[in-house]
Structure 1
Amino acid sequence: MIKPLKNFLPLAISAAIASAATAQDLVLEEVVVTAQKRVERLQDVPISVNAVSGAKMEEAGITNLEGMTAYVPNLTMNQTGIGTIIAIRGISSGINQGFEQSVGQYVDGVYYGRAQLARAPFMDLERVEVLRGPQSILFGKNSIGGAISMVTAKPTEEFEGQVTALYEPTHGEKDLRVVLSGPLTDTLSGRLSLMGRDMDGYYDNTTLDRDESGDKEQVIRGQLKWDASEDLTVNLKLETGSFDTKGRNLEPINPVTGAGGLSYQQTLSLLTGGQYQLDTEQDFKRQSNGDFSNNDTENATLTIDYALGEHTLTAITGYNAYNYEEDCDCDFTGATIFTADSREDFKQFSQEIRIASPGGETIDYIGGLFYQSSEMTFDDAIRVPSTSLLGGLSTLLLGTASQRDFTQDSDLWAGFAQATWNINDAWRLTVGGRYTSESKDATRTQHHTNTLGNDVGSSDILLNTVYTSFRLEPYPTIEDKRSEGAFTPLVTMQWDATDDMMLYATYTEGFKSGGFDVRSNAHPDPTYGVNIIANPVGPVIIQTTAANGFQAGVFEYEEEKAKSFEIGSKMTLADGAAELNAAIFRTQITDMQTSQFDGVLGFNVTNAGEATTQGLELDGRWLVASGLTLSGSLGFLDFTFDKFPNSQCYFGQTPNSATYPGLCDLKGETREFAPEFQGTLSADYSQPMGDNLEWRITGDVNFSDSYFTSPTLDPNLEQDAYAKLNLRLAMGSQDGMWEVALVGKNLTDESISTFGNQLPVSTTLTRATNVAVGNGPIASTAYYSFYERPRSIALQGTLRF
Structure 2
Amino acid sequence: MKAYQHNFLAMAIALHIAVPAAAQNNSPALEEVMVTAQKREQSLRDVPISVSALSSKKLEDAGITSIERVADYIPGFNMTQTGIGTNIAIRGISSGVNPGFEQSAAQYVDGIHFGRSQLSRAPFLDLERVEILRGPQSILFGKNSTAGAISITTAKPGSEHEAKLTALYEPEHGEKDIRLVLSGPISDTVGGRLAILHSSIDGFMENTTLGRDESGDENRVIRATLEWQPNDLWDITLKLEDGSFDSEGRNIEVVKPIEIPSQQTGVATPYANALQFFTQGQYLLDTTHDWKRQSNGDFSYNDTENVTLTIERELGEHTLTAITGYNAYTYDELCDCDFTGAPGFNILSNEDYSQVSQEIRIASPEDTRFSYIGGLFFQSSSMKFHDAIRVPTDSFIATAFTSQLGATAANLLRGAASNREFEQDTDLAAIFAQGTWNVTDLSRVIVGARYTAETKEATRTQYHVSNTGVALPQGGPSDPYNIIWSQFKIDPHSISGDRDESGFTPLITLQHDLNGTDMLYASFTTGFKSGGFDVRANAAPNELDGVYPAIEGTWEFEEEKVKNYEIGGKFVLADGAAELNVAAFRSEFKDMQTSQFDGSLSFNVTNAGQAVVQGLEVDGRWALTDNILLRGAGAYIDFEYTDFPNSQCYFGQPIAERNPTNPDVCDATGKRREFTPEFQGNLGIDYTIHFSNGLQLVNTLDLIYSDDYLTTPSLDPRFTQDAYTKINARIALSDNSEKWELALIGKNLTDESIIPYANGLPVASVVTRGTGSGYYAFYERPRSVAIQGTIRF
Instruction: Show the counterpart of 1:788.
Output: 780
Distance 1:446 1:184, change over 3 A: same
* Residue pair 1:645, 1:659 contacting (<8 A) in 2 also: no
* Residue pair 2:295, 2:340 contacting (<8 A) in 1 also: yes
- The one-character-per-residue Cα deviations of 1:177-212 (angstroms, maximum 9, x if unpaired) are 000000001100000000000000010000000000
Give distance in 2, aligned partners of 1:658 and 1:77.
Answer: 35
2:549 to 525, 545, 548: 545
Distance 1:98 1:5, change over 3 A: closer
Instruction: Show the counterpart of 1:623.
Output: 623
Name stretches of at least 5 consecutive residues in structure 1 with no aligned partner: 531-543, 768-777
Instruction: Show the counterpart of 1:471.
Output: 489
- Report the residue type matching 2:162 in the other structure: E
Matched, 1:361 2:368: yes
Give the secondary structure class of the aligned counterpart of 1:466. Answer: helix
Matched, 1:333 2:317: no
Matched, 1:432 2:424: no
Instruction: Show the counterpart of 1:494.
Output: 511
2:378 to 371, 383, 405: 371
- The one-character-per-residue Cα deviations of 1:314-350 (angstroms, maximum 9, x if unpaired) are 0000000000001111100000011100000000000
Give the secondary structure class of the aligned counterpart of 2:61. Answer: helix
* Residue pair 1:140, 1:352 contacting (<8 A) in 2 also: no
Deviates more, 1:148-157 or 1:658-667: 658-667
Shift of 1:136: 0.3
Instruction: Show the counterpart of 1:287.
Output: 294
Distance 1:158 1:556, change over 3 A: same
Give the secondary structure class of the aligned counterpart of 2:384. Answer: strand
Matched, 1:267 2:284: no
Instruction: Show the counterpart of 2:407.
Output: none
2:707 to 705, 711, 718: 705
Instruction: Show the counterpart of 1:518.
Output: 535
* Residue pair 1:527, 1:545 contacting (<8 A) in 2 also: no
Instruction: Show the counterpart of 1:772.
Output: none
Instruction: Show the counterpart of 1:688.
Output: 690
Matched, 1:397 2:413: yes
* Residue pair 1:181, 1:190 contacting (<8 A) in 2 also: yes
Give the secondary structure class of the aligned counterpart of 1:274. Answer: coil
* Residue pair 1:526, 1:545 contacting (<8 A) in 2 also: no
Instruction: Show the counterpart of 2:469.
Output: 453
* Residue pair 1:98, 1:517 contacting (<8 A) in 2 also: yes
Distance 1:432 1:10, change over 3 A: closer
- Report the residue type matching 1:488 in the other structure: T
1:277 to 255, 278, 284: 284
* Residue pair 2:144, 2:530 contacting (<8 A) in 1 also: no
Instruction: Show the counterpart of 1:661.
Output: 663
Give distance in 1, aligned partners of 2:374 and 2:95.
Answer: 29
* Residue pair 1:700, 1:726 contacting (<8 A) in 2 also: yes
Shift of 1:545: 3.4
- The one-character-per-residue Cα deviations of 1:570-621 (angstroms, maximum 9, x if unpaired) are 0000000000000000000000000011101110000000000000000000
Distance 1:34 1:464, change over 3 A: same
Distance 1:626 1:199, change over 3 A: same
Shift of 1:390: 2.8
Shift of 1:57: 1.1
Distance 1:9 1:102, change over 3 A: closer
- The one-character-per-residue Cα deviations of 1:109-155 (angstroms, maximum 9, x if unpaired) are 00001000000000100000000000000015241110000000000
Matched, 1:735 2:734: no
- Report the residue type matching 1:69 in the other structure: A
Give distance in 2, aligned partners of 1:171 and 1:66.
Answer: 18
Name stretches of at least 5 consecutive residues in structure 2 with no aligned partner: 262-266, 403-409
Instruction: Show the counterpart of 1:591.
Output: 591
Give the secondary structure class of the aligned counterpart of 1:92. Answer: coil
Give the secondary structure class of the aligned counterpart of 1:147. Answer: strand
Q: Give me the TM-score of the superposition, normalised by structure 1.
A: 0.95
Instruction: Show the counterpart of 2:761.
Output: 759
- The one-character-per-residue Cα deviations of 1:227-248 (angstroms, maximum 9, x if unpaired) are 0111011000000000000001
1:482 to 496, 499, 504: 499
* Residue pair 2:184, 2:192 contacting (<8 A) in 1 also: yes
2:352 to 330, 345, 349: 345
- The one-character-per-residue Cα deviations of 1:487-528 (angstroms, maximum 9, x if unpaired) are 000000000012231000000000111000000011211696
Instruction: Show the counterpart of 1:117.
Output: 119
Matched, 1:408 2:417: no
- The one-character-per-residue Cα deviations of 1:385-432 (angstroms, maximum 9, x if unpaired) are 112113323122111100000000000000000000011111010000
* Residue pair 1:111, 1:140 contacting (<8 A) in 2 also: no
Give distance in 1, aligned partners of 2:209 and 2:190.
Answer: 55
Give the secondary structure class of the aligned counterpart of 1:662. Answer: strand
Shift of 1:626: 1.6
Give distance in 2, aligned partners of 1:193 and 1:276.
Answer: 48
Give distance in 2, aligned partners of 1:11 and 1:616.
Answer: 14
Shift of 1:25: 3.0
Shift of 1:60: 1.0
Give distance in 1, aligned partners of 2:308 and 2:531.
Answer: 28
Shift of 1:464: 1.1
* Residue pair 2:16, 2:580 contacting (<8 A) in 1 also: no
Give distance in 1, aligned partners of 2:227 and 2:313.
Answer: 14
Q: Give me the TM-score of the superposition, normalised by structure 2.
A: 0.96
1:420 to 436, 439, 446: 436
Give distance in 1, aligned partners of 2:92 and 2:317.
Answer: 42
Give distance in 2, aligned partners of 1:298 and 1:9.
Answer: 47
Instruction: Show the counterpart of 1:774.
Output: none
Distance 1:9 1:404, change over 3 A: closer
Shift of 1:54: 1.4
Instruction: Show the counterpart of 1:771.
Output: none
- Report the residue type matching 2:188 in the other structure: D
Deviates more, 1:133-142 or 1:460-469: 460-469
- Report the residue type matching 2:645 in the other structure: P
Instruction: Show the counterpart of 1:566.
Output: 566
Distance 1:13 1:415, change over 3 A: closer
| Paired-residue identity, % | 56
- Report the residue type matching 2:367 in the other structure: G
Give distance in 2, aligned partners of 1:310 and 1:499.
Answer: 26
* Residue pair 1:203, 1:286 contacting (<8 A) in 2 also: yes
Shift of 1:250: 0.6
Instruction: Show the counterpart of 2:790.
Output: 798
Shift of 1:6: 10
Give distance in 1, aligned partners of 2:509 and 2:792.
Answer: 44
Give distance in 2, aligned partners of 1:332 and 1:790.
Answer: 21
Give distance in 2, aligned partners of 1:228 and 1:252.
Answer: 60
Give distance in 1, aligned partners of 2:605 and 2:68.
Answer: 24
